[in-house]
Structure 1
Amino acid sequence: MSDKPVAEMSFEEAMAELERVVNQLERGDVPLEQSITLYERGAALKKRCEEKLKDAEEKVAAITLDADGNPAGTKPVEGL
């Protein structure tokens, strides 16, 4: 498990660590207290991934297309 704060992770970092956490939990060979800690970390990682995906979706949605379907520019997304 990484010591890097979840809030500082990129989508790829959070997803990779989430996969490691899930694998550990699925094996079922960790003590109960560690399982709880892993579950909490997994929940935070899942939330981070969802936030990063939402940000990306908003950026994609802000791209406008011209009549030929080509990007014509972007419009500002609220909060960016």
Structure 2
Amino acid sequence: MREIFNGMPADELGADGWEKPWSGPNGGSCVETKKVDGEHVAIRQSADPSGPTLICTAAAMADFVAGAKNGLADFLL
């Protein structure tokens, strides 16, 4: 696999391994995530599977999820 970078086309990360943990009743437009190389998490829009990805470290994703569970993202609701 080539270098992993923020904004890279999602299809360069392969078709396998994408999950839809935040699927909703919005007609199939979902956030999809994929663990990449054990150190990173890729995030993409399912409606654009070849589009750009947001790449973050696994540690940053863990902090984000913990913060959301603790109410730090409630202002988005």
After TM superposition, the score normalised by the length of structure 2 is 0.24
Q: When you count helix as a share of all residues, which structure comes out higher?
A: 1
